[in-house]
């Protein structure tokens, strides 16, 4: 793909949704990323971002809400057995794709005891075929354990481990080529948001995926503002929606209209059972990537079932 200018626009010009009826709503948010209040939350200029949601049946390629639980580096055999038991007994809405991502050492335990209603994801994978790469896990090994997805580009991999955009893009390309779905994470740090660089950062991360992947058919994009991950701070529904609109607009402009329409864009960042229903009502929030709350079976089930809010709003 040809190189794309990543200069942050002063408005949403060029980032509009596919439907012409949304143009007025988008244009009302000009200079959105230049207004930051004392709590680091971006202030919307109006309530026009509350557009009528697309509805579950019109969402993404599969027509399903998507909720992933990233268990990160948490758990013991006993605590995970209890979590799996809670998930197995939970009542989950049928029209949601549900995925959990255990620590690597517990994937086999989870796969052998968790209901088939919930798929398994790896939290990371190597950039190519396995071999002499100490501490890594290969796509082939994840598939051998029954994983169908892998999380790539999570902020903790980017900013703690030091993975670069291009490297993450190559990892995504290899995972897709071997048949794993990719949960492709993007998101800005607090200082980047305060400097008005949210678009710059997210678009650069998207471009690294776009430059590398052969297809977007099996990719879910997860927007996770770094300042909201594990902090208890969460973007308001309107703030999350506005970034999701911009991401979908970037896909339309730089990949294709079809990809923009079909790709599920999910939100992550202190999502919990108390805020998921309101977030789910937003048109371009197609699900969630959940951290700490995914370690609590009943609460995770509540988040999964927040799809009913989108149905009501539709």
**Positions marked catalytic:** 154, 224
The pair of three-digit structure tokens given for residue 191, joined into one six-digit string: 């200082």
Query: Which residues in the chain belong to E strands, given as ranges?
Result: 65-70, 96-101, 119-122, 149-152, 181-186, 219-223, 264-267, 287-290
Residue that has been written with the tokens 């607090």 in this structure: 190
243/73 Cα distance (integer angstroms)? 28
What is the four-CA torsion angle of 81, 84, 89, 91, rounded to 10 degrees?
A: 160
**Beta-strand pair 181-186/149-152:** parallel
* Alpha helix stretches (DSSP H) within 188-270: 190-194, 198-212, 237-254, 257-262
């Amino acid at each position: 793909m040809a190189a794309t200018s990543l200069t942050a626009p002063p408005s949403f010009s060029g980032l509009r949704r596919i439907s012409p009826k949304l143009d007025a709503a988008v244009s009302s948010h000009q200079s959105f990323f230049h207004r930051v209040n004392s709590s680091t939350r971006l202030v919307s200029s109006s309530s026009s971002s509350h557009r009528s949601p697309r509805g579950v049946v019109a969402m993404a390629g599969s027509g399903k809400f998507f909720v992933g639980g990233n268990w990160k580096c948490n758990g013991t055999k006993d605590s995970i057995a209890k979590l799996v038991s809670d998930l197995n007994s939970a009542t989950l809405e049928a029209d949601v794709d549900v995925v959990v991502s255990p620590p690597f050492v517990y994937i086999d335990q989870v796969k052998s005891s968790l209901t088939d209603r919930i798929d398994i994801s790896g939290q990371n994978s190597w950039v190519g075929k396995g071999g002499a790469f100490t501490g890594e896990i290969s796509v082939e090994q994840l598939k051998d354990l029954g994983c169908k997805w892998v999380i790539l580009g999570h902020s903790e991999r980017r900013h703690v481990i030091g993975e670069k955009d291009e490297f993450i893009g190559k990892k995504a390309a290899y995972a897709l080529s071997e048949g794993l779905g990719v949960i492709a994470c993007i998101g800005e740090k607090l200082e980047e948001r305060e400097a008005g660089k949210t678009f710059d950062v997210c678009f650069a991360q998207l471009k690294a995926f776009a430059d590398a992947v052969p297809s977007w058919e099996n990719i879910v994009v997860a927007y996770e503002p770094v300042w909201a991950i594990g902090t208890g701070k969460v973007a308001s529904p309107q703030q999350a929606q506005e970034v999701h609109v911009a991401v979908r607009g970037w896909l339309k402009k730089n990949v294709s209209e079809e990809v923009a329409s079909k790709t599920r864009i999910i939100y992550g960042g202190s999502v919990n059972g108390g805020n998921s229903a309101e977030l789910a009502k937003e048109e371009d929030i197609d699900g969630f990537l959940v951290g700490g709350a995914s370690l609590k079976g009943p609460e995770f089930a509540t988040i999964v079932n927040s799809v009913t809010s989108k149905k009501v709003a539709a």
